[in-house]
Structure 1
Amino acid sequence: MLSTPVARLRPPPAARPAMADRRWWWALAGGWVAHVLLRLWLFRYHAGPVANPDETGYLAAARWLAGGPGADFTGSTFYQSGYALLLAPIHWVSADPATVYRLAVAVGSMVSATAFPLAYLVLRRLAVGRRGALLLAFVVGASPALLLFSGLALADAILPTLLLGWLLAIHDLVRAGAGRSGSRRRGTVRHGTVRRGIVGGADVWAGVVAGGLAGFAMTVHMRGMVVLAVTVIVVGALLVARRVPRRAGLAALATAAGVAVAGTVLNRALAAALYPGGTRDLAGLLVSRLTGLDGQAWALAGAAGQLWYLIVGTWGLAGIGLVAAATVTLRGAGRTSRRVGDGGLAVSFAHRVTAAALLAVTLGIAYASSAALPDEHRVGNYAYGRYLSCVAVAWTLAGVAALVRARRRSIPALAAAAAALGAGTGGVAAWYAGDRLDRYAFIAFDFPEVIFLSGVPDRLDMAAASLTALALLAGLTVLAVLPVLPGRLGLPASGWARVVPPAAGLAAVTIAFVAHLAPRSAPAPGRDWLPAPGPGRVAVDTRVKWNVWLPLTHRVWWTRLEMYDGARQAPPAGACTAIVPPTAGPPPAGWAATGDGDPSKGWTSWTGRGCGAGPGH
């Protein structure tokens, strides 16, 4: 009874010296540079798209947005404009395809590395101390979900960072609303804390950032539709319940709507230019799946497979995060914070709302992406990690925060629940897929973390991957619960000394994965198997396979590829090069065979007589 008034009379802690704060900013900046350099070193040999048609689709969209020639991807999956906008300025710097791609890798590396300072802020929101948050964020910043795609021209390179920023904004928006309502109930507004920021409009800025990032996520990828929907639902519900300032909530909704509308307009313009005959109808497939029992079984089993991959691909830490978030969410939405765990981790209303929002986004993406995924007769249809990679870092942070902040006696229970969740979701996916996991095509690109865990590079070994992930999770759990010797370190057991063992264990696994991912040597030089058209207009026979003409779209930077039906007509008049199938026969009048190509590569080429136009003409 006496502690409350005494605490209120206690003077505020002395402000940290500006020099000390500056050191933290320098540490974050230095860590960011280190992460960028790590990515640039890992992907130093990347000089062109390897994940087609996705990479070429984004690169061609960026080129068109920069004012360059377009392409014709009719019937293909639509690659949206949000990520391409970040790459568009590259085409103003250079037109060389290899240089453009290397700069795209640099952009992805810088955005991906920004997850490190954001991860630090997330851990600080979860009551991890400064030094511990800095160490853990640096290690998590090199997790697979952040490394794998930063070296490719894919939207997945920026989505994890975008989602971290969105989560921080949602948390701060809700916290600002809780702070303001609390101040109103007490009839006071305190200064020197978050209350001062609320008076200054910090709640509105949090709403603008949350809404803007949600709208931009929708412009980047279809997964962003789930983020936008969750944002609208969460902010709308908070407005109705009067748990967020009206001005801030409306700012969030208005910004989300504005950015989403602008993105929709840009996406439609991009679709009209690069997909003149229409895009692949994934929305129609989604609706058909959701309205039938077989489709629902496909969607739910695929979602389970994605959750399994999320858990094993984060060494079990995402499982701990999922269990902890579900527990926090189900505790109720009381207005007061509760103290749990060693050192007193505050579980506030803002924590609950943020945890619920992240759960909704995760489950929504897993379910919707699985429902909209065509049956391509590949193993990745049943267990896939790419779609949930955008939330993998957030769940890893939630998992490590639980390891270092929860009560020691509750950590084994969290780990056991995470292991059960991984086993359950993996069991559902394996049961539904059956022998298709052995019969269907195994694409190594779909399973980098699983290959690392199982050591099997040419097939999906769910059991081996699961057991290895369980062993890693057990090791991290032991490191988190073992008593430390704070006296030898001069620190309390609940502080910095408690963070070091699990951080060291996670760092060891991360280093092993980086070593597994790192190229052993430069690729052996060899003759390029793709066409190398000369200057001027380039035509492609529609009978040529997509894996030939589509990457050629990026390589031929000076003109739009002109598609024509070679079975019915000659190459377009005025074209200088025609790429045709080996079975096309002799060239028509006005054309001559170049002798390039190989029947095993699926193409040969003709050249038009009298062509003198150069690139860009």
Structure 2
Amino acid sequence: MLRTPAPPVPRSGAAPRVRWLLAAGWVAQVALRLWLNRYHGAPVANPDETGYLLAARWLAGGAGADLSGSTFYQAGYALLLVPIFWLTSDPGLAYRLAVGVGAVAAASAYPVAYVLLRRLRVGRRAALALAFTAGSSPSLLVFSGFALADAVLPVVVLGWLVALHDLVAGGPLRRRVAAGAAAGGLAAYAMAVHLRGTVIVAVCLLVLVALWRRLPRAALIATLVSAVAGAVAGDALNGALRAALYPGGPRDLSGLLVERLTSLEGQAWALSGAAGQLWYLVAGTWGLAGVGLAGAAALLTRRSAPFVPRVLAGALLTLTLGIAYASSAALPDEHRVGNFAYGRYLACVAVAWTLVGMLVLLRARRLPAARASAAGHAQAGAGRASAAGRAQAGAGRASVAGRGLSGAGWLSVVRHVVAAAGLLAVTGGVVAWYAGDRLHRHAFIAFDFPEVIFLTQRPGSLDLVAASLSALALLACLAGAALARRPAVLATAVLGLIQMAFVVHLAPAPPAPGPDWLPAPSPPGRVAVEAGVKWNVWVPLSYRVWWTGIERFRGTPPEGVCTAVVPQEAGPPPAGWTVTGARHGWVTWSRC
């Protein structure tokens, strides 16, 4: 994110080797995720996973369901799963294939991160190592094992940043037009995937408005056309899905959102929740997001800073704050600790901030040298590649590559680390002040806190202080490595060790054998569920029953139904029906 010289001319034959390394690294990333998720055989994050799977099955021409009153799960991510349901109707096999799709998508963050680092003028070897290490970040490992949109959104954000860079960086008009079309299209696709994508579209449009005089008209038009066309197509697809799977309408949060935005109490909820998400973002990236946020803010305040990094820093910072605030404002109070400190919504930007934080640590210590290098380049350009200019530019590159360390460099690294610690303390303090004893009274769901549990080794509660101190300890290790003689190698190695420790922590144990907790109707008969059955039974059952859509009823089961699922307190079945199963608050009646 700081001023750096242009990379040296690549050696002959380097490009093919890089492509092979990217391909091999991508395969390794996919293999790691498949190994971590080898025991995932059915949806567990309900109703989210089931909502996306049912959407994909319906889009593929299979049986739908009635999810009226549930949260609306959009079609953008489900489109990626449609080919699975063309190949198989078996729900177990389809789910395992969906996990494979998530592994492939999340592993693609590695090559995309490499491209982004090269755009930011990181050397080839350092970019390969850092991109691979960041590709195993928790936000890319945890959610890739589930049928969730969070498996693809981080890659979409990284790709959008690459396209945004190429749009504003100059160069041939054709390249800028293509980059604009990619930036608008990726933003529109993100909007079709999740409501967080709406913020990406808004930020993309803000960038166009802010830079409309500096961008070629053709590139502006290409960006707007791709964004608008993609948004319209996504809205039409989501409209069709909503009408088919939510005939009674999805869960309406618009009233809650308006109330939050127009009342002091609602604003307190939204702002404290946003602070909790920022706290989690910093802690869940081992403090690197805090360093990156501080570096981005400092870059935006320096008018002498390079134009393109300032645009990217402003876009990423606005996107992060916008998602944190908007998602918190629309989040209902579910009496869980995750209402106050939550990492999933900002997981889509966590990898980007991890990369930025590492770049700030590695470059902040060499700010004086980087400026000298920039002066060398200016002199070289003014002198038409004079010998003096080339010598000074080369000296600047050597300094940035990094052997020496000035006192100003030490101070710069320390300032960024202190800023990250301050951000962690302030946001954590806001969470503790606003939530109070609700952090202990409300439900702690382990799925909401994978990084925090790793930091504290407490799987049943949230300890803000312990998690913050652990994250700062890891950040201190990273900062110390960044101050060493070979900073890029050592800092990346330290980050890799932390990520490896998280992988070991995340490694699953074989599931304990036991009876299935869902009803087991047999095809091809019709299946109906009584209205009193809880959602955590009938929602996953809607996916389990692949041959027909689940019907809902009150009182007596409809005529022609073969299997009825009723609450356990429903009493004996009507004449002609037989009890065929009972567990976890439900009973099944059959007559076929």
State if a TM-score over 0.5 links the two structures. Answer: yes
CA distance in 1, matches of 2:206, 2:492: 36
Is 2:313 the counterpart of 1:325? Answer: no
- 2:260 maps to which residue? 289
Deviations 1:290-330 (A, max 9, x none): 00000000000000000000000000000011111111122
Deviations 1:480-502 (A, max 9, x none): 113x2xxxxxxxxxxxx321111
- Alpha-carbon shift at residue 350 of structure 1 (Å): 1.2
CA distance in 1, matches of 2:118, 2:295: 17
- 1:308 maps to which residue? 279
Deviations 1:169-206 (A, max 9, x none): 11110112xxxxxxxxxxxxxxxxxx4xx14x000000
Alpha carbons 1:379, 1:441 under 8 Å: kept: yes
- 2:332 maps to which residue? 374
- Alpha-carbon shift at residue 13 of structure 1 (Å): 7.5
Letter in 2 for 1:55: E
> What is the 5 A alignment of 1:560-599?
560-566=549-555, 570-594=556-580, 596-598=581-583
Is 2:88 the counterpart of 1:94? Answer: yes
From 435, 447, 452, the counterpart of 1:433: 435
> Relative to structure 1, is the Cα distance of residues 76 and 13 closer, same or farther in structure 2, using a 3 angstrom cutoff?
closer
Letter in 1 for 2:151: A
- Alpha-carbon shift at residue 217 of structure 1 (Å): 0.5
CA distance in 1, matches of 2:282, 2:210: 30
CA distance in 1, matches of 2:248, 2:576: 30
Alpha carbons 1:318, 1:392 under 8 Å: kept: yes
CA distance in 1, matches of 2:351, 2:8: 33
Is 2:518 the counterpart of 1:530? Answer: yes
TM-score, length-scaled by structure 1: 0.86
CA distance in 1, matches of 2:358, 2:535: 44
Deviations 1:519-573 (A, max 9, x none): 13x212211121000121111111111111111111111110001113xxx1111
- Alpha-carbon shift at residue 236 of structure 1 (Å): 2.4
Deviations 1:567-613 (A, max 9, x none): xxx1111111001111112222332222x113xx11011112xx3xx
Letter in 1 for 2:344: R
CA distance in 2, matches of 1:281, 1:367: 19
Of structures 1 and 2, the one scoring higher in RCO (CA 8 A, sep 6+) is: 2
From 316, 328, 348, the counterpart of 1:390: 348
- 2:19 maps to which residue? 25
From 181, 188, 194, the counterpart of 1:208: 181
CA distance in 2, matches of 1:400, 1:211: 28
Is 2:537 the counterpart of 1:551? Answer: no
Is 2:103 the counterpart of 1:131? Answer: no
> Relative to structure 1, is the Cα distance of residues 531 and 125 closer, same or farther in structure 2, using a 3 angstrom cutoff?
same
Is 2:248 the counterpart of 1:259? Answer: no
Deviations 1:388-442 (A, max 9, x none): 0000000000001112222232111111111111111111111110111011111
- 1:461 maps to which residue? 463
> Relative to structure 1, is the Cα distance of residues 13 and 402 closer, same or farther in structure 2, using a 3 angstrom cutoff?
closer
CA distance in 1, matches of 2:215, 2:236: 30
- Alpha-carbon shift at residue 16 of structure 1 (Å): 3.5
> Relative to structure 1, is the Cα distance of residues 144 and 541 closer, same or farther in structure 2, using a 3 angstrom cutoff?
same
- 2:364 maps to which residue? 406
Alpha carbons 1:126, 1:401 under 8 Å: kept: no
> Relative to structure 1, is the Cα distance of residues 13 and 161 closer, same or farther in structure 2, using a 3 angstrom cutoff?
closer
Deviations 1:443-468 (A, max 9, x none): 11100100000111100011100000
Alpha carbons 1:123, 1:401 under 8 Å: kept: no
> What is the 5 A alignment of 1:171-182?
171-176=165-170
From 216, 219, 223, the counterpart of 2:192: 219
- Alpha-carbon shift at residue 15 of structure 1 (Å): 6.2
- 1:446 maps to which residue? 448
CA distance in 2, matches of 1:122, 1:308: 25
**Other structure's SS at 2:459 match:** coil
- Alpha-carbon shift at residue 226 of structure 1 (Å): 0.4
Alpha carbons 1:82, 1:217 under 8 Å: kept: yes
CA distance in 1, matches of 2:8, 2:318: 38
Would you say how many aligned residue pairs link Structure 1 and Structure 2? 542
Letter in 2 for 1:82: G
Which blocks of at least 5 consecutive residues in structure 1 are unaligned?
1-6, 177-194, 333-337, 339-346, 485-496, 612-617
- 1:190 maps to which residue? none
CA distance in 1, matches of 2:33, 2:336: 29
CA distance in 1, matches of 2:80, 2:508: 27
- Alpha-carbon shift at residue 123 of structure 1 (Å): 1.6
Sequence identity percentage = 64
From 578, 585, 588, the counterpart of 1:605: 588
CA distance in 2, matches of 1:534, 1:218: 38
Alpha carbons 1:128, 1:405 under 8 Å: kept: no
CA distance in 2, matches of 1:590, 1:248: 70
> Relative to structure 1, is the Cα distance of residues 460 and 15 closer, same or farther in structure 2, using a 3 angstrom cutoff?
closer
CA distance in 2, matches of 1:86, 1:290: 34
- Alpha-carbon shift at residue 469 of structure 1 (Å): 0.3
Deviations 1:79-124 (A, max 9, x none): 0000000011100011111110010001011010000011111222
From 203, 206, 218, the counterpart of 1:233: 206
CA distance in 2, matches of 1:604, 1:355: 56
CA distance in 1, matches of 2:164, 2:293: 18
Which blocks of at least 5 consecutive residues in structure 2 are unaligned?
366-408
Alpha carbons 1:172, 1:350 under 8 Å: kept: no
- Alpha-carbon shift at residue 283 of structure 1 (Å): 2.2
> What is the 5 A alignment of 1:69-80?
69-80=63-74
> Relative to structure 1, is the Cα distance of residues 402 and 541 closer, same or farther in structure 2, using a 3 angstrom cutoff?
same
From 457, 476, 479, the counterpart of 2:478: 476
- 2:77 maps to which residue? 83
TM-score, length-scaled by structure 2: 0.90
